[in-house]
């Protein structure tokens, strides 16, 4: 099903150069420095249950497309937030997916899924309503074998390191077991403090109570609260973390007086904080997290510009991450200035920026990263993690920031089996872009070869201090 020249240019000369570049990077180890896979998969190393539970139900890319066509989450076996439901036969769930696989034509999801079917399971025909159950049974048969245990797949995929993402409220039990296990696979965590630094996060006050319990710090005041956050960061570092991750609605940062920080914190605890004040508090917390990163060396990632849980009915019934998050406009030049005034010139601090607003690539992000030593640009993300999105990213970023103010690729996925497919797409598109520069005599083939290696492997490993 997979053409060897997929995603390369239709221009014969460019295609030939891209093919040559790709052959040199196709088998490089995978650096997966930010994602959402379950660390318990690798700690327990138990067989995956079935094709629906592994490939369909955790993947919000799949859920959102199916939901857009009137297929309910109940029919897809997604349990409600209260734990009810989810008792649909997984074979029936898979059949719904098979009958609607045509919906994904020309999407990156289709590219990833076809790659999984062909390369992981050696299935040589497209999924359809007619063969849905046969493919479901074949996948399940393979999942029951030792070759498809999580650790075996980790090694087969040539993953050098994978970072999962956890809240400060997570005890990291699976990571603790992995740290004590002789298995050499490197699975580390990343510190995602949103539940305890966003006053509008559901259950914020209860989350702070749990933070106090886990850290042993008094979170009744702002100073003790910051100490609790530092303690949890140190714990995450002991479990292998090299980065933090922040999913704020915007890139707003602030540098407020101590008494104002205390007032905002108390209002957040009491549930009386306004929307404007909540944005101020989040902005202050980004500065606090940056200052802590300067102290402990954790690389900071900022993923702003998402209106999360846009569909209130879906959120109330099923919770987060069910495909109802949507992009918003972004702004960085003014938003980041308070943070950059403090830390922008410090080479010991590193902040990786992501966006869902492509209009800021050339206007704001590339000029910022092309100047401030602390800034790097993350790859095309989420809705733009696509062939066209990756090309637009390179075309708009490179002229001002170059290649070496970017961090290569990270897959940012919950779908474990799609990780090789996502990295393969990124490597192919980067080779395609580099091949175009060679044919236009803007790069030599030797330079393009070095860049292909850097974009596929070296930049991510260096940026995330792995």
The tens place of each residue's pLDDT in the chain, 466 residues long, gives 799 999 999 999 999 999 999 999 999 999 999 999 999 999 999 999 999 999 999 999 999 999 999 999 999 999 998 988 888 999 999 999 999 999 999 999 999 999 999 999 999 999 999 999 999 999 999 999 999 999 999 999 999 999 999 999 999 999 999 999 999 999 999 999 999 999 999 999 999 999 999 999 999 999 999 999 999 999 999 999 999 999 999 999 999 999 999 999 999 999 999 999 999 999 999 999 999 999 999 999 999 999 999 999 999 999 988 989 999 999 999 999 999 999 999 999 999 999 999 999 999 999 999 999 999 999 999 999 999 999 999 999 999 999 999 999 999 999 999 999 999 999 999 999 999 999 999 999 999 999 999 999 999 999 999 9
From the list 241, 233, 234, the residue with the least C-alpha distance to 179 is 241
Contact predicate 52/98, CB 8 Å: no
β-partners of residue 30 are: 159
Instruction: For residue 66, give both structure tokens.
Output: 């199916």
pLDDT for the residue numbered 321: 87
Contact predicate 232/214, CB 8 Å: yes
pLDDT for the residue numbered 86: 81
pTM of the complete model beyond 0.95 = yes
If phi over 0 gives left and psi between -120 and 50 gives alpha, with beta otherwise, what is residue 221?
Answer: beta
Q: What CA–CA distances, in Å, run from 324 to 177, 310, 355?
A: 34, 6, 17
From the list 357, 405, 396, the residue with the least C-alpha distance to 378 is 405
What is the set of domains in the chain, with CATH numbers? 12-47+149-463 (3.20.20.140), 48-148 (1.10.2020.10)
pLDDT for the residue numbered 334: 98
Beta strands in 243-321 (DSSP E): 243-246, 299-302, 306-307
Contact predicate 385/422, CB 8 Å: yes
pLDDT for the residue numbered 187: 98
pLDDT for the residue numbered 181: 97
């Amino acid at each position: 099903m997979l053409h060897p020249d997929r995603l390369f240019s239709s221009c014969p000369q460019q295609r030939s150069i891209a093919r040559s570049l790709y052959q040199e990077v196709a088998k490089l180890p995978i650096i997966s420095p930010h994602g959402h896979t379950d660390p318990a998969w690798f700690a327990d190393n138990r067989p995956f249950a079935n094709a629906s539970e592994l490939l369909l139900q955790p993947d919000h890319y799949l859920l959102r497309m199916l939901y857009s066509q009137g297929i309910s989450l109940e029919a897809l076996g997604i349990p409600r937030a209260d734990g009810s439901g989810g008792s649909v036969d997984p074979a029936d769930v898979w059949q719904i997916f098979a009958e609607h696989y045509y919906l994904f034509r020309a999407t990156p999801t289709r590219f990833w899924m076809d790659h999984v079917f062909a390369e992981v399971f050696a299935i040589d025909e497209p999924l359809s309503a007619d063969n849905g159950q046969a493919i479901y049974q074949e996948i399940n048969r393979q999942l029951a074998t030792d070759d498809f245990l999580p650790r075996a797949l980790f090694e087969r995929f040539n993953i050098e390191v994978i970072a999962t993402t956890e809240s400060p409220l997570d005890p990291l039990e699976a990571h603790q077991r992995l740290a004590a296990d002789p298995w050499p696979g490197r699975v580390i965590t990343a510190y995602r403090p949103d539940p305890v630094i966003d006053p509008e996060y559901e259950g914020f006050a209860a989350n702070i109570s749990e933070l106090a319990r886990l850290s042993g710090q008094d979170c009744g005041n702002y100073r003790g609260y910051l100490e609790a956050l530092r303690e949890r960061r140190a714990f995450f570092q002991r479990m292998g973390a090299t980065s933090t991750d922040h999913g704020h609605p915007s890139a707003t940062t602030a540098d407020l007086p101590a008494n104002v920080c205390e007032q905002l914190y108390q209002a957040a605890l009491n549930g009386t904080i306004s929307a404007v004040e909540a944005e101020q508090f989040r902005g202050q917390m980004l500065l606090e997290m940056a200052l802590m990163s300067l102290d402990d060396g954790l690389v900071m990632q900022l993923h702003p510009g998402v209106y999360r849980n846009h569909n209130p009915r879906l959120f109330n019934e099923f919770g987060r991450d069910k495909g109802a998050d949507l992009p918003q406009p972004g702004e960085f030049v003014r938003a980041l200035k308070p943070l950059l005034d403090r830390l922008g010139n410090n080479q010991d601090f590193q902040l990786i920026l992501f966006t869902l607003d492509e209009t800021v690539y050339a206007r704001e992000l590339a000029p910022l990263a092309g100047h401030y030593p602390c800034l790097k640009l993350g790859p095309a993300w989420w809705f733009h993690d696509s062939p066209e999105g990756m090309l637009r990213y390179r075309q708009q970023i490179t002229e001002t920031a170059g290649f070496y103010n970017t961090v290569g690729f990270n897959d940012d996925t919950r779908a474990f089996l799609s990780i090789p497919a996502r990295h393969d797409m990124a490597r192919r598109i980067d080779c395609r872009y580099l091949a175009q520069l060679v044919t236009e005599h803007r790069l030599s083939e030797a330079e393009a070869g070095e860049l292909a290696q850097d974009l596929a492997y070296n930049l991510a490993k260096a940026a995330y201090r792995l």
